[in-house]
Amino acid sequence: MKLLHALLPACALLLPVVVCAQTFEGKVTMKMSSPSMKDGSQVMDMSIKEGYMRMDMNSQRGSVAMITDFKNQQILIIMAAQHMYMVRPIPQPGSAQVAQAQQQASGATLQDTGTTETILGYTCKKYVVTGKEGTSEIWVTDQLGTFGGLFHGGGPGQRSQAPASWEAALQGKAFFPLRVVTTSNGGKTFTLEVTAIDKESLSDSLFAAPEGYQKFDLGALMGGFGRPPGGN
């Protein structure tokens, strides 16, 4: 049970909010770095297929996968160590998460620098986003579909946080970031770097809960009454 509580904030932080229809099928590997991260950085594998997105990451506490199923408008959180999965709905228009993204976007400016760079074989345009928390330089391509940002919900008893300005500024645009460098007003730096892009055909089974895994009642957990099957 302690492991489950420890994993939830990390899972929620990385769930995608909205991703529009994709023209790309395959896997994208990302590395994020920030002083606030326990180990300084985090590597994620993102699998993309029409109607689905899956994000996998490893930590000292085990591997976690987040699957966004756009066809059924739901998100699956899969915890391999526990052989369990949870289901939550995709945030919809009018929800607190979407309202936060819209509010953050209204205070951010997106400037096209006119500079281009080829990253991993993809032509990227460089934009500068200025927002409340600082300034971000982002290199985006229009060849990988639309990136909807990172979900900033909290774990049990925690409030969700507004998305970063660069995420909010990309909402609704057919851009996918291959590099992000954010310098906050306090001088701290966050980076996101795509390190590999592999086009390949992906099985539908990759975007479903593994056979034999137990479904956990996330709603009960968030209400403070949940207990994983067999938990103490």
Using the 8-state DSSP alphabet, how is residue 207 labeled?
G
Give domain status of residue 228, yes or no.
Answer: no
| Cα–Cα distance measured from residue 45 to residue 95, given in angstroms and rounded to the nearest whole number | 28
Buried-exposed string 89-119: b where 16+ CB fall within 10 A, e elsewhere: ebbeeeeebbebbeebbeebebeeeeeeeeb
3-state class (DSSP) for residue 7: helix
pLDDT score of 98: 57
Tokens of 106: 């209204």
For residues 190 and 34, the answer to whether their CB atoms sit within 8 Å is yes
Give domain status of residue 229, yes or no.
Answer: no
| Residue numbers of the domain that contains 198 | 2-222
In the chain, how many domains are there? 1
Give domain status of residue 232, yes or no.
Answer: no
Give domain status of residue 34, yes or no.
Answer: yes
pTM of the model: 0.73
Give domain status of residue 83, yes or no.
Answer: yes
Residue pLDDT tens, the chain, 232 long: 444 444 444 443 444 444 444 478 999 999 989 887 777 788 889 898 988 889 898 766 678 888 988 889 888 989 888 899 999 887 665 556 555 555 555 667 889 999 999 999 999 999 999 888 789 999 999 988 877 566 444 443 444 456 678 887 887 788 899 999 999 887 888 999 999 999 999 999 999 999 999 998 755 555 544 444 444 4
Closest CA to 140 of 105, 190, 192, 100: 192
Give domain status of residue 198, yes or no.
Answer: yes
For residues 168 and 105, the answer to whether their CB atoms sit within 8 Å is yes
H or E element: which one contains 218?
Answer: helix 218-222
Give domain status of residue 76, yes or no.
Answer: yes
Q: What is the CATH number of the domain that holds 148?
A: 2.50.20.10
Measured from the Cβ of residue 232, the count of other Cβ atoms closer than 10 Å reads 5
Closest CA to 54 of 64, 41, 39: 64
Give domain status of residue 13, yes or no.
Answer: yes
